[in-house]
């Protein structure tokens, strides 16, 4: 007799012996033959013990089974956590820069008959508004001659390979504009109210403009020529937080530009503007008050460019990133559910004799179904717990690597193990149903 047949015979004999012992015990207790037998019950503790034993009996298989659920839950937590963290960082940077910027642009109904849009004390008027940090006017002077906004700028003394000059943009800007863009110099200094009030013929160069002109040092007091007009370079701007075009431009005091090339004129296609830097949260209010503060006699002539609502940006980031990565997390969960279902179904086929033995001892179909459902749910819970831990660690590690503040919503982290448990339960429904349908006689015959 082969070993498999021997084991099956022993299982049948054991089942019959246990059934006979149960009958004898009933006779001793009641003094009569077997009558109606009390229904068996499956305690919750016994069900947990059975599930734990079955998982520990095959640790390698259990580990591979929970891998899919583990990856799915980890992706779920990591995606939502990284999305919230990235959204918070984007919102923070957006609020610190764009959300504190208001631009006032001259847009008269009749440009040909428009007068000077901004009074000489425009900066002082705006600084009186509560919430304004810096404000400054700026525009691009018109040089005529078909050159448009750009003009050839040469340096004295010129560099060897740049004797012909470079086409650069000239920006006429008040000192408040330099403060509003947070201009930082690598050498020299920025012009200030003194240069503005005296119409000094000075200029500061953006980093890229200075490189193109071959100017890297100021100890020789280099000068630049805009056409035939000399300007002394007193500083080189290394970086700005706003208006990055300034790094490729020549900036000169607005009063100097007005004296040399005339006042700003919206009719020539370069309307003068005012850049306003506000405190956090003050931009919407300043956008409503700026035009009245500048020209209370004609506030409707200005076009106000206010920052968009940062909440809309955050919601858009959440929607775009969340929809993409949650789909990937869902695919991982489906793969995990298929793995649990396949493993549980194989376990049902392998343990048919055990199922028959339990049924012959009085276990009902729902008890067998509960046993296998508890095993699949335990596998799902195990994958959910480990996956949640991995997801949280991923979010924290990514945030630390980027020097961000990790953001993890409790509504995301806390339900994650439950998602793994539900996935395991759903995956074990069909195998548990198959196990509950196995008849004791058919099982013991195999």
Q: Does a structural domain hold residue 219?
A: yes
What mean pLDDT do residues 160-171 have?
71
Residue at 35 is within a domain? no
Measured CA to CA, the distance from residue 414 to residue 391 in angstroms comes to 12
Q: What is the dihedral of CA 135, 136, 139, 140, to 10 degrees?
A: -130
How many domains, in total, are found in the chain? 2
| Portion of the chain with pLDDT greater than 90, in percent | 26
Which of the four pLDDT bands, split at 50, 70 and 90, describes residue 33?
very low
pLDDT of residue 87: 65
Confidence label for 314 from pLDDT (cuts 50, 70 and 90): low
pLDDT at 333 over 60: yes
Domain for residue 33, yes or no?
Answer: no
Mean pLDDT on 391-418:
84
Asked if 264 and 196 count as a contact pair (C-beta separation under 8 A), the reply is no
pLDDT of residue 49: 76
Are both 144 and 176 inside the same structural domain? yes
* Domain end residue (candidates: 263, 294, 325): 294
**92-99: long-range contacts (C-beta < 8 A, 24 or more apart)?**
94/310, 94/313, 95/280, 95/310, 96/280, 97/241, 97/242, 98/307, 99/280, 99/283, 99/307, 99/310
- What pLDDT, on the 0 to 100 scale, is given for residue 27? 46
Strands 302-305 and 229-239: unpaired
Flag whether pLDDT at 146 surpasses 50. Answer: no
Within a domain: residue 382? yes
Higher per-residue confidence, 375 vs 47: 375
User: Are 351 and 420 part of one and the same domain?
Assistant: yes
pLDDT for 13 = 53
User: Does pLDDT of 401 surpass 70?
Assistant: yes
Asked if residue 419 has pLDDT above 70, the reply is yes
Verify that 138 and 243 share a domain, yes or no.
yes
* Higher per-residue pLDDT: 384 or 14: 384
* 148 in the same domain as 194: yes
Alpha-carbon distance of 427 to 433, in angstroms, equals 11
Calculate the CA dihedral of residues 287, 289, 291, 294 and round it to 10 degrees. Answer: -130
More confident residue, 295 or 325: 295
Of the segments 145-149, 332-336, 364-368, which one has the largest average pLDDT value? 364-368
Query: Does the pLDDT of residue 15 top 80, yes or no?
Result: no
Mean pLDDT of 229-256: 93
pLDDT of 9 above 70: no
Indicate whether 105 belongs to any domain.
no
Together in a domain, 191 and 286:
yes
The predicted structure's pLDDT at residue 159: 47
Q: How confident is the model at residue 304 (pLDDT cuts 50, 70, 90)?
A: very high
**Together in a domain, 63 and 178:** no
Does residue 362 share a domain with residue 248?
Answer: no
Q: Is the pLDDT of residue 341 over 80?
A: no
Model confidence at 1, in pLDDT bands (50, 70, 90)? very low
Given a cut of 80, whether residue 289 has pLDDT beyond it is yes
Residues linked to residue 231 through DSSP beta bridges, in sequence order: 224
CB 107 within 8 A of CB 307: no
Per-residue confidence (pLDDT) for residue 319, from 0 to 100: 64
Q: Are residues 322 and 286 in the same domain?
A: no
Residue 25 lies in a domain: no
Q: Are residues 181 and 268 in the same domain?
A: yes
Task: Tell me the pairing of strands 249-253 and 166-173.
Answer: parallel
Q: Tell me the average pLDDT across 377-406.
A: 86
pLDDT computed for residue 190 by the predictor: 96
In which band, very low, low, confident or very high, does the pLDDT at 180 lie, cut at 50, 70 and 90?
very high
Residue 72 pLDDT: 78
Beta strands in 240-315 (DSSP E): 249-253, 273-278, 302-305
pLDDT of residue 161: 46
Q: Is the pLDDT of residue 141 over 70?
A: yes
Tens digit of pLDDT for each residue in 48-99?
Answer: 777 777 777 777 777 777 777 787 788 778 877 877 776 666 555 555 656 7
On whether residue 171 sits in a domain, the answer given is yes
Residue 98 falls within a domain, yes or no? no
Are the beta carbons of 127 and 293 closer than 8 angstroms? no
137: enclosing H helix or E strand: strand 132-139
* Same domain, yes or no: 144 and 252: yes
- List the Cα angle 305/268/290 in 5-degree steps: 25
169 and 254 belong to one structural domain: yes
Question: How high is the pLDDT of residue 16?
Answer: 54
Q: How many helices (H) and strands (E) does the chain have?
A: 15, 11
Judged against a pLDDT cut of 70, whether residue 106 lies above it is answered with yes
Residue pLDDT, tens place only, 123-139: 999 999 999 999 999 99
Q: What is the pLDDT of residue 313?
A: 55
pLDDT at 276: 95
Average pLDDT, the chain: 78
- Write down the pLDDT at residue 199: 93
Residue 340 domain boundaries: 42-92+312-445
Task: Identify the domain boundary among 247, 264, 294.
Answer: 294
Q: How confident is the model at residue 344 (pLDDT cuts 50, 70, 90)?
A: confident
- Shared domain check, 256 and 391: no
The last residue of one of the domains, among 231, 262, 294, is 294
| pLDDT over threshold 90, residue 324 | no
């Amino acid at each position: 007799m082969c070993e498999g047949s021997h084991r099956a015979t022993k299982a049948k004999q054991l089942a019959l012996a246990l059934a006979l012992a149960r009958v004898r015990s009933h006779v001793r207790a009641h003094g009569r033959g077997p009558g109606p037998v009390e229904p068996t019950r499956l305690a919750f503790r016994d069900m947990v013990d059975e599930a734990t034993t079955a998982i520990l009996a095959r640790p390698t298989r259990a580990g591979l089974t929970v891998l899919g659920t583990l990856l799915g839950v980890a992706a779920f937590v990591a995606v939502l956590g990284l999305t919230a963290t990235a959204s918070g960082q984007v919102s923070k940077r957006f609020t610190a820069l764009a959300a504190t910027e208001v631009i006032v642009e001259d847009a008269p109904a009749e440009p040909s008959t428009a007068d000077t849009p901004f009074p000489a004390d425009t900066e002082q008027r705006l600084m009186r508004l509560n919430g304004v940090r810096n404000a400054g006017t700026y525009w691009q002077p018109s040089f005529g001659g078909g050159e448009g906004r750009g003009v050839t700028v040469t340096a004295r003394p010129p560099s060897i390979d740049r004797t012909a000059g470079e086409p650069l943009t000239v920006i006429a800007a008040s000192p408040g504009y330099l403060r509003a863009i947070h201009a930082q110099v690598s050498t020299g200094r920025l012009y200030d109210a003194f240069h503005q009030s005296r119409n000094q013929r000075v200029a500061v160069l953006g980093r890229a403009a200075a490189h193109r002109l071959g100017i890297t040092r100021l100890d020789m007091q280099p000068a630049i020529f805009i056409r035939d007009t000399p300007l002394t370079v007193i500083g080189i701007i290394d970086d700005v937080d706003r208006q990055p075009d300034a790094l490729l431009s020549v900036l000169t005091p607005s009063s100097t530009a007005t004296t040399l090339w005339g006042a700003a004129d919206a009719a020539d296609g370069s309307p003068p503007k005012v850049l306003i830097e506000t405190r956090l949260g003050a931009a919407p209010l300043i956008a409503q008050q700026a035009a009245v503060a500048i020209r209370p006699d004609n506030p409707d002539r200005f076009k106000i460019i206010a920052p968009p609502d940062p909440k809309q940006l955050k919601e858009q980031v959440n929607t775009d990133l969340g929809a993409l990565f949650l789909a990937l997390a869902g695919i991982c969960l489906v793969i995990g559910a298929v793995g649990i279902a396949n493993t549980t179904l194989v376990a049902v086929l392998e343990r048919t004799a055990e199922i028959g033995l339990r049924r012959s001892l009085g276990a009902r179909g729902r008890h067998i179904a509960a046993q296998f459902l508890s095993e699949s749910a335990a596998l799902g819970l195990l994958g959910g717990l480990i996956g949640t831990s991995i997801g949280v660690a991923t979010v924290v590690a990514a945030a630390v690597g980027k020097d961000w503040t990790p953001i993890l919503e409790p509504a995301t982290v806390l339900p994650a193990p439950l998602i793994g448990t539900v996935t395991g339960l759903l995956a074990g429904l069909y195998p548990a149903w198959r196990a509950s349908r196995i008849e004791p006689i058919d099982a013991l015959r195999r």
